[in-house]
Structure 1
Amino acid sequence: MDGRKFQRQYKKSISNFKDWEQRPHAEEWILYPENISNRLSLDEVALSDGELYTVLTSKKAKGRKGSIVAIIKGTKSDIVIKHLFKINRKLRLNVKEITLDMAGSMELIAKRCFPNATQVIDRFHVQKLATEALQEIRIQHRWQAIELENNLLAEAKIKKQKPEIEVFENRDTRKQLLARSRYLLYKSREKWTASQNQRAEILFSQYPDLEKAYHLADGLRKIYNQNIKKPVAMLKLAHWFKEVEESGFKSFSVLMKTIMNHYNNILNYFERRSTNASAESFNAKIKNFRLQLRGVRDKAFFLFRLSKLFA
């Protein structure tokens, strides 16, 4: 049978898509209140053309059938709240914990729709900001190294001489050293390979500020990795704040203020060490499913198929 013909037959007859009760409003919102549990994850995902949808999933289902509680078009808090209010209030009040990112709209949605739930800001969003603050410093040095090399090449061209570009013992030029150090800065020292250890030693000898910034990012990672209680985490974060203030790095200072603005919800992680990993995993499944279909043409039918698999 012709593939396209089978696809049409599946959509119109075999799949029962035309009888799906949520079909009339699927492109705007779908709800599965029966899947709600006392621990939820709230996140956003792009279905097609960068258009964002707010996704509420149950941790109890562990990314399998029964995961989807709600998928709502957009991230505007008032619209998402309006649709989530369609879920029975008693069910919403039974939710004890909800993990989310640092977006203000997500916090407002969680507060209004699940007032009894403890909000937990995902650790990986905080660590990602720390890594981005570190990478910003590396990128600044890299642009300076590119400019320096360009000037050397231009000067050598004028003098009609061979350019004298510095090469380190691992055969990296300064520009290459900063470009190739990107991935090692994401990892803790214990996970570095021999070549990465050598590159890091050269990098930190040339740029002591990068070493200091790396220690700050790694220090925050270590706080999260330790199996400690909330009061101990508060103390360790206070010490980390002091180190940030002493460092003078603007990017880390912005990160510190961001953490302070969400302080209580970030510290709630240390109560049960809950993360938004289940939501991120579910988002990855959506993206993989979208990739297999080579994009999303009919959003309602795409959401119908998602519901069959995960709702």
Structure 2
Amino acid sequence: MDGKQLQSQYKDHLSDFQNWDQRAHAQEYILYPKNMGYHLCIDETALSKGDLYTILINRDKRGRKGSIIAVIQGTKTDDIIAVLTKMPQELRNQVKEITLDMAGSMQKIAKTCFPRAMQVIDRFHVQKLVYEAVQELRITYRWQVIKEENKAMKAAKEKGEVYKAEELENGDTLRQLLARSRYLLFKSPDKWTKSQKIRAELLFKQFEDIKHVYYTFTTVANSIENHYERILNFFVNRSTNAAAEAFNAKIKAFRASFRGVVDMSFFLFRLAKVYA
């Protein structure tokens, strides 16, 4: 029996997929109120070809059976709320904590569906990624400048000349500018010293994409400030959304083992068998 035939036999006869109580609406959502816990995670995940689903998990189950509470097609706030409020109010009121990202839609979902739960925003990985993006770009340019400078030095030596790098208005060479800009890129503009303001102006004039990435970080910093209360809730139980990210990785591995998703309802049935 080949693989396709075996899968067909399992789907239609060996499994209880045909009698699955969630089958009629599985394409839109699956819901397991019995898996409700005190500490939840909510996140979005791509199940097939970039189609996004919102997933709610019980963090206390640590990615094992009983983890999945809901998997809902799409990320539209009203649609998510409509599904989650199918669960009894008294059950949802038991939730003590829910971790989520900074998206306003996620916060509205959490507030509406779990009004007594403390919201915890996980921002650490966002901050780290933006810092790294700025510094990696700076380092990339620095190596390019070093390479070009070495070529110029070699050419000057072959001509019997002494190489002298061009100096900018503040006395830095381009190589020195990139090296000395490291610390100012970790600060907000209002905290720059006079010399750092001059250096930043020269840096951004020479490398506009560093400027773009840097001010992207400033936007993120402002977002963090706007959500600081929910961010500070981290220190109550030191909870992050890492459980949701780890569960997303499990879903990707599960999907890969079946070489993609052909029938979404059947895929969710198998996923629920393992994790719900």
Task: Please say whether Structure 1 and Structure 2 have the same fold, judged by a TM-score greater than 0.5.
Answer: yes
Give how far 1:61 is off: 1.1
Structure 1 segment 276-287 matched on structure 2, within 5 A: 276-287=241-252
User: Paired residue for 2:273?
Assistant: 308
User: Paired residue for 2:32?
Assistant: 32
User: Paired residue for 2:235?
Assistant: 270
User: Paired residue for 2:140?
Assistant: 142
User: Paired residue for 2:223?
Assistant: 258
Amino acid at match of 2:251: I
Distance 1:271 1:309 in 2: 32
Higher Cα Rg: structure 1 or 2? Answer: 2
Distance 2:73 2:57 in 1: 15
Q: 1:108 to 1:46 in 2, by over 3 A?
A: same
Distance 2:95 2:17 in 1: 31
User: Paired residue for 1:126?
Assistant: 124
- Match of residue 246, structure 1, among 168, 191, 196: 191
Distance 2:13 2:219 in 1: 55
User: Paired residue for 2:70?
Assistant: 70
Amino acid at match of 1:304: F
User: Paired residue for 2:211?
Assistant: none
Q: Deviations over 1:73-129 (max 9, x none)?
A: 01111110011010011101111100011111111100010000000012xx43333
2:262 maps to 1:297:
yes
Give how far 1:294 is off: 1.2
Runs of 4+ residues over 4 Å off in structure 1: 143-153, 203-206
User: Paired residue for 1:98?
Assistant: 98
Which secondary structure state, in structure 2, belongs to the residue aligned with residue 294 of structure 1?
A: coil
Distance 1:114 1:245 in 2: 39
Q: Deviations over 1:218-248 (max 9, x none)?
A: xxxxxxxxxxxxxxxxxxxxxxxxx674147
8 Å contact kept, 1:44–1:75: yes
Give how far 1:141 is off: 6.0
Distance 1:148 1:78 in 2: 54
8 Å contact kept, 1:57–1:279: yes
Percent identity, aligned pairs only, is 45
Amino acid at match of 1:129: Q
Give how far 1:291 is off: 1.0
Amino acid at match of 2:271: L
Give how far 1:41 is off: 0.6
Distance 2:246 2:136 in 1: 30
Distance 2:102 2:236 in 1: 18
* TM-score normalised per structure 1: 0.69
User: Paired residue for 1:236?
Assistant: none
Which secondary structure state, in structure 2, belongs to the residue aligned with residue 207 of structure 1?
A: helix
Q: 1:2 to 1:107 in 2, by over 3 A?
A: same
User: Paired residue for 2:208?
Assistant: none
User: Paired residue for 1:220?
Assistant: none
Structure 1 segment 73-88 matched on structure 2, within 5 A: 73-88=73-88
